Each structure stands twice: as C-alpha cells, then as structure tokens.
Copies of this chain bind each other. A is one copy, B any other.
Amino acid sequence: MASIKEIAERSGFSISTVSRTLNNYTDVNAKTREKIMQIAKEMNYYPNAVARSLVQKKTHTIGMFFGNKENSALDHPFFLDIVSAVREEMGNQGYDILLFTNKTKEHSTLTTLCRERSVDGVVLLLSGEGKKRTEQLDELQDSNIPCVAIDIPLVGDRCTYVESDNYTGAKEAVNYLISQGHRTIAFIGGDEISKQSFDRMRGYQDALMENKLGMDPMLMRLGYFSKTRAVEEAGYLLAHKPNITAFFCVSDQMANVVIEFLNSRGMNVPEDISVMGFDDIKEAVYFRPRLTTIRQNKYEMGTQAARILLQTIDDEATRPEPVTLPCELVIRESVAKPRHI
C-alpha cells in the first residue's frame, strides 16, 4: 500500500527525490538517501510494477503461447524441457513469464494479445492445430513484437525461430536402419503443414535415395502425431506391405503405440520387426523395448530461443536469425537386424 507519494510526505522530500533514491540515482544527497531508504523500509515499500510499466513501456514480462485445450503444448512431454529452459534463462535476466490462457479473448489475435498485455517479447510453443492459424502468425511476424517460435518458420525483422535439424536427424535414423540391414522401411510421418514433418520426410526419402533403395510411396503414411492415427496407419502399411522390417515413426509417442500395436498382432520388437522414434522424450527410456530414437536437444532449443529473444528485445538493430540445432542418434533396444539377414 505504501506508495512513493506517502514516503515523500513522511520524509518531507518531494516525490521525484524519493523516486530517484529508490531507483539508485547518484544525484541524491547521502543523508537524504539514508533517510528516505529508512522510511521506505519502515513503510514496507515495494514498487508498483504496473505503474512503472505504464510509464516506461516495458513490463519485464515475456509472453508465452501454448496451443489451446486438447492440444496444449503443456501436455506434450516435448515442450517441458523447453519451457524449463526458457524459464531459467528469462529468470536470470530479470523477466517473468506470462502464460496466455485467457479463453475469454479467444477471438483476439496473437499480436493483439501481446500488445494488450504489453509483453516485451513472446515465445511461441504451438503444436498441430495452433500452426494452422497462419494469418495470425503472419501478422505477428510482420509486427514489431520481438518473437521467437519453436519449430515454426517465422521470419521477420524482430521475429525468428528455433528448430532441430530434422532433415539430418531423419536421415540419420534411416541410415542407421539401413546399416542394420533393413531394406523395406515404412515411414509414419507427421502432417502436411508443419515444417518439421516435411523435413523429416525429406530426410527419410533422401536417405533411401542415397542408398539406392528406391522410394515406395506405399511405404509412407501420415500419422499426424496422433496415437490413434499412427496405429491405423501401421495397420494399413502392414496390410499392404507385409515385408516391412522396420517402422520409422516421426515421434516417440507414435513409435510407442506402434510397438504396442505390433505386439498385439503377435509380433515382437525388435526380434520380428524394428521400430524407431523421433524426439527422445523422457518416457522413451521406459518403453519396452527401450526406444531407439533421434534425440532433439530440447533444453538447448529453449535456451537458444530465450537468448535470441532477449537479444532482440535489447537491441532494436539486429535482426534475429533462425537457429537449427543438431539431433543425435540414441541407440537403445527397439532396432535389431532383420530376421532374414
């Protein structure tokens, strides 16, 4: 409750002198400072961030968007590390994080939401559905709001993104399968809109081509990062291509249900058939068999995103550049040499 004004009255000094003191300006008499500080402490003063933000046009807050409801990024294990990293980095630099959750304003645009709340910057953690709001993303990209997206290729004067090297990662996965002797490798991809889905598919295709294995469209299906879809597609693939020896699923969660599905069909992984995932989420170690997969460096993605955002906020001039982080092959138990070798 104690305001700068009350301290001024109590101390006998003016509001501005009190303000200067509290903000550690140097041009304040030592004794004056002492007295004011003393009184401030007595009155248990704390600055009102809202008032300060209003005049300074700086909130020391960065906004964060997740998908809404069903598809909340918060519920996806992949985003956890990212949030954690962003939080750490932002915290160190004196920022708090505002989670945009107000459903009352669902008709509002991302940009408007940011402006209303006057956040200093924003990080986008949108999954599936969220990425479809392309007009909104365009608007944000063209606004001057500092922004870093995860896995969404936004590019603007103050806007960029962080991603994994999905292409190389996928390629590595397939190369590994090939190195183990697999020749008929099924692909359960993501969707047709997200860049990461596209890149992983290209990686799969190019690996096959470079190994002169040819590319059979009948081996490729889209799973939309959905567990039920993934199972359906696995069934479809198996029905049409019974000689498949390995599945490359573009997410660990899909890989997991595919393994369960195969088991239910009486096939053992990896003895009868191999399965590879992508992401390396925490649970992957617990899957049975433990999942061989491609690790995305999630924490690093978050750290980078935060740093770039901070940099963009601090410096009007520099235009942020996209960052692509390397993936890593994690060999565990779900891939083995195919039977006939």
Binding site for B on A (CB under 8 A): 46-51, 53-54, 59-61, 66, 69, 72, 74-75, 80, 83-84, 87-88, 90-105, 108, 112, 115-118, 282-283, 286-288
Contact = CB atoms under 8 A, between A and B. Distances in A.
Nearest to A109: B46
A226 to B, nearest CB: 18
Contacts of A90: 101
Contacts of A49: 116-118
A102 B91 contact: yes
A101 B112 contact: no
Contacts of A286: 283, 286-288
A88 B83 CA distance: 18
Nearest to A81: B75
A48 B94 contact: no
A98 B97 contact: yes
A46 B98 contact: no
A26 to B, nearest CB: 20
Contacts of A87: 66, 72, 74, 99, 101
A339 to B, nearest CB: 25
B69 A75 contact: no
A306 to B, nearest CB: 11
A314 to B, nearest CB: 15
A102 B60 contact: yes
Contact of A115 (B46, B95, B103, B118): B46
Nearest to A106: B91
Given A80-B74, A91-B101, A91-B102, A51 B48 contact: no
A292 to B, nearest CB: 16
Contacts of A112: 46
